[in-house]
Amino acid sequence: MVSTRRSSSSAKVSTPSPVPSSKHLK
Protein backbone atom coordinates (compact mmCIF):
# COMPACT_ATOMS: atom_id res chain seq x y z
CA MET A 1 0.00 0.00 0.00
CA VAL A 2 2.78 2.42 0.91
CA SER A 3 4.61 1.59 -2.31
CA THR A 4 1.55 2.42 -4.41
CA ARG A 5 1.08 5.71 -2.62
CA ARG A 6 4.71 6.65 -3.14
CA SER A 7 4.43 5.79 -6.82
CA SER A 8 1.38 8.02 -7.21
CA SER A 9 3.18 10.94 -5.59
CA SER A 10 6.24 10.46 -7.78
CA ALA A 11 4.12 10.23 -10.93
CA LYS A 12 2.34 13.47 -10.08
CA VAL A 13 5.61 15.33 -9.59
CA SER A 14 7.14 13.69 -12.66
CA THR A 15 4.24 14.68 -14.90
CA PRO A 16 4.55 18.40 -15.73
CA SER A 17 0.89 19.35 -15.51
CA PRO A 18 1.33 23.09 -14.82
CA VAL A 19 4.04 23.34 -17.47
CA PRO A 20 1.86 22.54 -20.52
CA SER A 21 -1.04 24.42 -18.96
CA SER A 22 1.02 27.61 -18.78
CA LYS A 23 2.12 27.17 -22.38
CA HIS A 24 -1.48 26.83 -23.49
CA LEU A 25 -2.41 29.96 -21.58
CA LYS A 26 0.38 31.86 -23.26
For residue 12, the model assigns a pLDDT of 57
| Mean confidence (pLDDT) of the chain | 57
Give the rounded percent of residues in the chain with a pLDDT score beyond 70.
0
For residue 14, the model assigns a pLDDT of 55
Q: How many CA atoms lie within 13 A of 10 on its CB side?
A: 6
d(CA 8, CA 21): 20
d(CA 4, CA 8): 6
Does residue 7 carry a pLDDT above 60? no
For residue 17, the model assigns a pLDDT of 60
For residue 13, the model assigns a pLDDT of 56
Does residue 19 carry a pLDDT above 60? yes
